[in-house]
Structure 1
Amino acid sequence: MTLTPALQRTVDDFQAMEEGDRLQLLLEFADELPELPQRYADHPDLLERVAECQSPVFLFVEVDERVHVHATAPAESPTTRGFASILAQGLEGASADEALAVPTDMPRLLGLDRVVSPLRLRGMAGMLGRIQRQVRERAAAR
């Protein structure tokens, strides 16, 4: 298993907590989702909808020398927003190879299986899958 250093720290933080406290940590991540850069806020058509999520989640990945994940999720969907925040922060500044090496089951490593629904975990896996696809496409286009 290969995680970026930021994702590994997040997984370690979740695993160090009691199961009941993990949901609270996820909600804290929801408050930390970075704002969209103005160039995407002004052009939402550039963002890709994550259909696997029940809530309207949109994202866009930039790849220069590093990966930059931009995501938006509604405030009234804090678990989904928390997942988007974990991925955006955890992949920020990673190389394309590092982002692509993150295992698809990474959401399960957070230990949230019994505190959030399987549907929500699939939504986070869907976000990761779309991010990795965009990374592959943009890295190949460079």
Structure 2
Amino acid sequence: MKKQSRYSVKTILHSKFGITALVLIIMTQAVTAQTRAVAVVEPLAGTATVKHIGNPAGSIVFQVQYDNPSGDKFTLIIKDNDDAVLFQDMYTGKKFDKKFQLPQGQADKLKFIIRGTRNNHLQTFEVNTNTRVIEEIVVKRVS
């Protein structure tokens, strides 16, 4: 007659194979839990962009665009490097597109802050406004 063997859970866990299998099962569960947590995250309500347009006559011009699909009120604040408010106003609308002309040399850094009043949505942009002038002189022998 053949001898039947029984393996208990304790015997399997004490073997190298059992420990490896247990570690793999635990790691699989951890990865699955992380994947589920990432899938729950929702995208931001609106997206904003701040672009440098140019420097006409001693000033700096920036274009601020904000997609606000819900059309809720939002506040736009522009601050300098000392956190002094240079501009603040409240807007509504689904598509915001506005240009701001600021004096050049007034601040080295500017902050553009867009804050939703209803959903507490916040986007902040920091702009470094340092200006460098490169002077190049070339001496060329003609004859």
TM-score using structure 1 length? 0.24
Which of the two has greater helix per residue? 1
TM-score using structure 2 length? 0.24
RCO comparison, higher one (Cα < 8 Å, 6+): 1
